[in-house]
Structure 1
Amino acid sequence: MATRTRAKATTAANRQRAIQRDIDEKDASKSASAKKGAAAKTSAKPKQAGARKQPESPLPEQHQAKPGKEHQLQPRPQFKAPEYKGSEKLKGMAALITGGDSGIGRAVAVLFAREGADVGIVYLDATDDAEETQRHVEEEGGRCVLIQGDVADPDFCEQAVEETVEAFGHLDILVNNAAFQEHADSLEDISEEHMDMTFRTNLYGYFHMARAALPHLKAGGSIINTGSETGLFGSPKLLDYSATKGAIHAFTRSLSANLVQKGIRVNAVAPGPVWTPLNPADKPAKGVAKFGASNPMGRPAQPEEVAPAYVFLAAPSCASYISGAILPVMGGPTG
């Protein structure tokens, strides 16, 4: 079974890269004059609001093949949150995080472990990133299992949950975070395969994982979905991605109402731009350099700035009366 799911994950990653190549070719064929005609957004001067200085725009120009490698990003995303002190908010709990090898998922895994949880990590094919995440989780004192596969496959989602329960004896928290994103300048540029990949990964994957996890979740457990500011305000070049994120917000609110009598809470975090492999594996290199510059803070968030929101929603001591919430972490008012 494990060999078959790894093979399916590799196939999915190859399909993602093929979609990416198609869009890259379309980008290359666009005329420079058409690009110059586009209205430019006014960038804010970068703001620092935390104890630790975060990298600012412009970022180095870079572009990666999907699904992206965190260890190849420059500068490296900040996920350790050294100022964050754990206080056993998740002691004795077990979590399963999809897309947990890098980006927001990695930062959440580290903080969950710092709060006393054991963590299962689902990832597609970045084994080196997943193993680095595992090392950091274990350094925090948590146990960590790595599970490779494609969340678009419902059989794999069942397997991932079963492996997590087998490893830790129970499951208390599901974080749906895996995502596929590939920009397109127009609706005509989005192929059926492109749209299918986005919906099957971002939306079907969340349904599959939640359905697989539910038999194991008990009162006090929770599901946290990763939404997006694009699901609230839209994005002109992320038509399919924005649609899935809006659907995730609706799914979150609907599932929260469905499960409230069981004592299982369902919430979502809606981040703005975050410095993860997702965007350098989407945008052209010049676009990456300006990533987050139009945000009210004038820069993208670092994963460690978003992860505490997931701890807050997961911890019964903090959020026992919160369900159906879409928590914005956007660097200020936007839209």
Structure 2
Amino acid sequence: MTDSQFQKGHEVPVTHQEFPGKEHKLPLQAQYDTLPTDEGGYQKYKAAGKLQGKKAVITGGDSGIGRATAILFAMEGADSFIVYLPDEEKDAQETKRMVESHGRQCHLLSTDLTSRDNCKKVVDEALKQLGGIDILFNNAAYQMVKSDIHELSEDQWLHTFNTNIHPYFYLSKYALPHMSRGSTIINNASINAYIGRPDLLDYTSTKGAVVSFTRGLSNQFVGKGIRVNAVAPGPVWTPLIPATMDDGAQETFTSPMGRPAQPSEVAACVVFLAAADSSAISGQTIHCNGGVIVNG
């Protein structure tokens, strides 16, 4: 494929994988360290040392937005500790390779974040490997399309909440005692919290909780110099798409820009929120959603 073919959006093929999806099996290559140009191609992300010497924890760091964030963080001078599911080991190893190609460290931990004990283990191991935590990017998430509430099982509802919001609380709670003035927490919300997507009722509900959690936690810590913000992506080309969306959802997987976003485009927003460039921003959400107008 060519870059211009991907940017046409509707040429993204309908394909299916088992959850959680594999980056290396995507039919079209996602972009991690490049950004779109006006001419329809891509150019290398231009780093400026914005995160030099910082230490970051990234959940869901093996692929998609998490992988792109780890790579851009590395380009900006930060080391990362990425968390992922055991089934995602191959993708995680490739992320590690890509981060290290930029001269930074990338530590790996495969674990299930639905367990609070595992969340505690993440923080403990990150402190051991990194020597501190300056940035926490709560990114890991689960979704599965169900068109009607009667098709949405109680078990899926609980699993989605146990994956998408409870670990954000646990990881933040355990990491904050080790963070200091200038540290940042960034939470991955979603456009769906603002538009109320009907075929992702449980996912949409958790992302609304993420927005409120971000606001409340910011109000607790902004006076202590620790900022808490969120990103709310629209359609983004990641392994979650073929792993969780039916044919109809994939066929309409686009934005007002005529294409889904690349992981790198969201990751660039995460870099902004992690860096001093956003020093006057806390409790806010960046709507990197491809041009959808929302209130919030």
Same fold per TM (> 0.5)? yes
Q: Secondary structure at the match of 1:175?
A: strand
Find the counterpart in structure 1 of residue 179 from structure 2.
217
- Report how many residues are paired: 283
Residue 236 of structure 1: how far off its partner (Å) = 0.9
Gaps of 5+ in 1: 1-49
Structure 2: distance between partners of 1:51 and 1:186: 36
Q: Secondary structure at the match of 2:240?
A: coil
* TM-score normalised to structure 1 length: 0.82
Residue 51 of structure 1: how far off its partner (Å) = 11
Structure 2: distance between partners of 1:216 and 1:198: 28
Deviation digits for residues 245-274 of structure 1 (CA, Å, limit 9, x no counterpart) = 011000000000011122110000000000
Question: What code does the residue aligned with 2:60 have?
Answer: G
Structure 2: distance between partners of 1:51 and 1:64: 25
Structure 2: distance between partners of 1:57 and 1:96: 34
Find the counterpart in structure 2 of residue 184 from structure 1.
146
Deviation digits for residues 103-134 of structure 1 (CA, Å, limit 9, x no counterpart) = 00000000000000000000012000000000
1:5-20 mapped onto 2 (5 Å cutoff): none
Q: Secondary structure at the match of 1:279?
A: helix
Verify the 8 A CA contact 2:8 2:258 in the aligned structure 1: no
Residue 55 of structure 1: how far off its partner (Å) = 5.7
| 2:89 counterpart of 1:127 | yes
Verify the 8 A CA contact 2:134 2:179 in the aligned structure 1: yes
Residue 208 of structure 1: how far off its partner (Å) = 1.1
1:1-335 mapped onto 2 (5 Å cutoff): 54=7, 56-81=9-34, 82-124=43-85, 125-285=87-247, 287-292=249-254, 295-316=255-276, 318-334=277-293
Change (3 A) 1:115 1:202: same
Question: What code does the residue aligned with 2:50 have?
Answer: K
Change (3 A) 1:168 1:250: same
Residue 286 of structure 1: how far off its partner (Å) = 5.3
Question: What code does the residue aligned with 1:90 have?
Answer: L
Verify the 8 A CA contact 1:134 1:145 in the aligned structure 2: yes
Residue 162 of structure 1: how far off its partner (Å) = 1.3
Structure 2: distance between partners of 1:189 and 1:54: 34
Deviation digits for residues 170-190 of structure 1 (CA, Å, limit 9, x no counterpart) = 110000000000111110111
Change (3 A) 1:73 1:329: same
Question: What code does the residue aligned with 1:302 have?
Answer: Q
Verify the 8 A CA contact 1:62 1:289 in the aligned structure 2: no
Verify the 8 A CA contact 1:63 1:288 in the aligned structure 2: no
Q: RMSD of aligned C-alpha atoms? A: 1.7
Question: What code does the residue aligned with 1:313 have?
Answer: L
Q: After the TM superposition, list the runs of 4 or more consecutive aligned residues in structure 1 that deviate by more than 6 angstroms.
A: 50-53
* TM-score normalised to structure 2 length: 0.92
Structure 1: distance between partners of 2:6 and 2:151: 39
Structure 1: distance between partners of 2:274 and 2:4: 24
Verify the 8 A CA contact 1:58 1:290 in the aligned structure 2: no
Structure 2: distance between partners of 1:83 and 1:209: 32
Residue 136 of structure 1: how far off its partner (Å) = 0.5
Find the counterpart in structure 2 of residue 33 from structure 1.
none
Structure 1: distance between partners of 2:108 and 2:72: 17
Structure 1: distance between partners of 2:290 and 2:147: 26
Structure 2: distance between partners of 1:270 and 1:68: 21
Residue 238 of structure 1: how far off its partner (Å) = 0.7
Change (3 A) 1:233 1:290: closer
Question: What code does the residue aligned with 1:101 have?
Answer: D
Q: Secondary structure at the match of 1:120?
A: strand
Question: What code does the residue aligned with 2:266 have?
Answer: V
Change (3 A) 1:217 1:83: same
Verify the 8 A CA contact 2:5 2:11 in the aligned structure 1: no
Structure 2: distance between partners of 1:52 and 1:157: 40
Verify the 8 A CA contact 2:145 2:246 in the aligned structure 1: no
Question: What code does the residue aligned with 2:53 have?
Answer: G
Find the counterpart in structure 1 of residue 38 from structure 2.
none
Structure 2: distance between partners of 1:266 and 1:133: 25
Q: Secondary structure at the match of 1:61?
A: coil
